[in-house]
Structure 1
Amino acid sequence: MSSLSPARRAVALAGEGRVAEALALLAESGAAGDGEALFARGLWRVDGRLLPRELEAARADFRLAAELGSRDAARVYAGFVASGIGGPRDWASALALLAASDDPLLRRQHELIAAMDLTEDGNPRSLPSPEVLRDSPAIAVTRRLFTPEECRLLVELAEARFKPASIFHEARKQFVRDPLRDSDAAGFPVVLESPFVHALNRRLAAASGTDVAQGETLQILRYAPGQQYRPHLDAVPGVANQRILTALVWLNDDCEGGETLFLESGLAVKGGQGDLLLFANALPDGRPDPATRHAGAPVTRGVKLIASRWIRARPAGPEGFGRHEAEGH
């Protein structure tokens, strides 16, 4: 183990149940100027399993780690500043971090953001008009909400992290394979919500007439030939903060099949690259609306790539909507 970096040694120690030793190693190495050790501690502070969930302290760790040369920490810190995680939201400072970076990924994000027509606070100045497909339940398509370049970068950011779609099993207290969809999925939790992803999330919020904080983690889903999302409802029975809307953006249009099928009405929808499909999920009292039962038809040729964001009735509390928000690092 001695040949490993302090951060990797700490992970190994934690895996053996020696959490106190792991934390002491990260603290000692961080104090000695090891940016990767500070980055690892920041991730643990976000995750909340080995350390209490402290987003302000995590943000401080990421800032110091970035100043010490950790590229991963610089990427996370820019996202925290852009989103207001663990401290004040400062869109202008986040853009300045991107512009000053020598990281090709951050510079590319800066170029794409510069091409967006945004207010000083990072919100879209204007949006394409939606095309209403149904009034009840509400279903609409907004054409070309994302540009082709934005779609391609989202896919590239997700590519290395795709894994079989899963759900959290409450009884087992672990993630298990999703029984309804056999796609691959990659999410952008708080440590991966870069300024670029945050700008797109704000655009989805504006297009849906909601606060960006009402949205769950943006997910990218990848369906190979034969894969599908079986009939289901997106609203969850009995939850206090319901999933009231679903936002889907097609990231490519060079596949066949894969239509979104609304089973009660017989409506089948398939958009072009960058098009948004937005539909309601719940009744006025918050119960799931049976008329919104839908499915993703099997892909028959090529690969279907889609961005998905569930939108809740209210913003998340301090713990967020999901679990293990540092997952992926």
Structure 2
Amino acid sequence: MMAAAQDAMALAQSGCGGEAVALLETATDGDALALLGLWRLEGRLCPRDPVAARECLRRAAELGNAGAARICTGFVATGTGGAADWRAAVALLGDWADRDPLAARQRDLIAAMVLTADGAPVATFEGEEVSSAPEIVRFADLFSIDECRFLIDVSRTRFKPAQIFHEGKGRFVKDPVRRSDSAGFPLTAEWPLVHALNRRIAAASGTHVRQGEPLQLLRYRPGERYSPHLDAVPGMTNQRRLTALVWLNEDYDGGETRFLETGLALRGQTGDAIVFRNALYDGRPDPTSRHEGCPVTRGEKLMASRWIRERPAGDGAAFGPEDAA
């Protein structure tokens, strides 16, 4: 990290936030611009401004900052801080492919997809209804094996114990219900490949991609489980209407997803997915959707999870901290 960014972080840690921002605003190196872009995205020490954040990250990428380039490709794909431009996002991956293995891998995986000019999946997805109460639809091979492997590989260094946001304490705490590790793909990590997969989930579930919370990867090792729970939250104004789960591997024992009201236990092959309804049509949690992730007895279970809200997030906004559960 260059000196200006280091000095700005030191100023921020010592309580001199205004001076830290001013220092970054006058700096001209990629590290400083990338840090300023992140602060403007988060609203840290300065007003939240996704448009200015995207511009800072674009300039940082032009100066060779690979981290900023990764974020910027995602912003261009998703339309964060400016217009969405799928072709431009894919072109940016190509520009960085010889310098960033992550960009090269995304470019190659996207090239294997059949998409419209704006990045939407061409295919229609017809699932198999496996339950009517709760409503559960199963989709075979929603993700390819190579796409599953990509998600696993990029999450290996990002896994951390699953947490929830405790409103009373105002901070994240260890999840008392779920014993597992998780890795999220928030705005700064919704790279073009991740965005394409989110759009596929949206197409399969009949929703808009902006209704989905950030994609999460869940890792369960022997003895770990997700205790019985509901995904819908009582009183939530924009309810979690649906949950999408994608199996990313098969080499484990145990770990079925079991619905308690019916006893239905599901386990898919690599790339298979289920979408199930969490809420009744009046927004109250559907009691028949109460489910658990049974304990893993051998190996490592890896799944992708996406909660889908009743309505999209607002322009330039993401869902709140409670969504990191």
With structure 2 as the length reference, what TM-score do the two structures score? 0.96
Match of 1:74 in 2: 69
Q: Report the residue type matching 1:93 in the other structure.
A: A
Match of 1:216 in 2: 213
Question: Is 1:137–1:292's contact at 8 Å kept on the other side of the alignment?
Answer: yes
Match of 1:88 in 2: 83
Question: Is 1:47–1:324's contact at 8 Å kept on the other side of the alignment?
Answer: no
Alignment of 1:33-48 (within 5 A): 33-48=28-43
CA distances 1:187-230 after superposition (whole Å, capped 9, x unpaired): 00001100000000000000000000000000001111000000
CA distances 1:136-165 after superposition (whole Å, capped 9, x unpaired): 221011011000100011111111111001
CA distances 1:96-136 after superposition (whole Å, capped 9, x unpaired): 11112122210110000000011111111114531110122
Q: Report the residue type matching 1:289 in the other structure.
A: D
Match of 2:265 in 1: 268
Partners of 2:126 and 2:251 in 1: CA distance: 24
Question: Is 1:127–1:145's contact at 8 Å kept on the other side of the alignment?
Answer: no
Question: Is 1:249–1:275's contact at 8 Å kept on the other side of the alignment?
Answer: yes
Find 1:165's aligned residue among 162, 168, 182: 162
Q: Report the residue type matching 1:257 in the other structure.
A: G
Secondary structure (helix, strand or coil) at the match of 1:300 reads strand
Where structure 1 has 5 or more consecutive residues not aligned to the other structure, the ranges are none
Question: Is 1:128–1:143's contact at 8 Å kept on the other side of the alignment?
Answer: no
Find 1:59's aligned residue among 34, 54, 71: 54
CA shift, 1:6, in A, is 1.9
Find 2:13's aligned residue among 12, 15, 18: 15
Secondary structure (helix, strand or coil) at the match of 1:122 reads coil
Q: Where do 4+ consecutive residues of structure 1 move more than 6 Å? A: none
Partners of 2:310 and 2:229 in 1: CA distance: 19
Secondary structure (helix, strand or coil) at the match of 1:134 reads strand
Match of 1:148 in 2: 145
Partners of 1:175 and 1:244 in 2: CA distance: 24
Match of 2:172 in 1: 175
1:98 aligns with 2:96: no
Match of 2:277 in 1: 280
Distance 1:323 1:58, change over 3 A: farther
1:107 aligns with 2:122: no
Secondary structure (helix, strand or coil) at the match of 2:69 reads helix
Question: Is 2:164–2:322's contact at 8 Å kept on the other side of the alignment?
Answer: no
Find 2:230's aligned residue among 228, 233, 252: 233
Partners of 1:8 and 1:262 in 2: CA distance: 50
1:189 aligns with 2:178: no
Secondary structure (helix, strand or coil) at the match of 1:277 reads strand
Q: Report the residue type matching 1:187 in the other structure.
A: G
CA shift, 1:324, in A, is 10
Secondary structure (helix, strand or coil) at the match of 1:118 reads coil
Secondary structure (helix, strand or coil) at the match of 1:316 reads coil
Q: Report the residue type matching 1:148 in the other structure.
A: I
With structure 1 as the length reference, what TM-score do the two structures score? 0.95
Match of 2:319 in 1: 321
Partners of 1:151 and 1:159 in 2: CA distance: 13
CA shift, 1:14, in A, is 1.2
RMSD of aligned residue pairs (Cα, Å): 1.6
Match of 1:294 in 2: 291
Partners of 1:48 and 1:156 in 2: CA distance: 30
Find 1:259's aligned residue among 249, 256, 270: 256
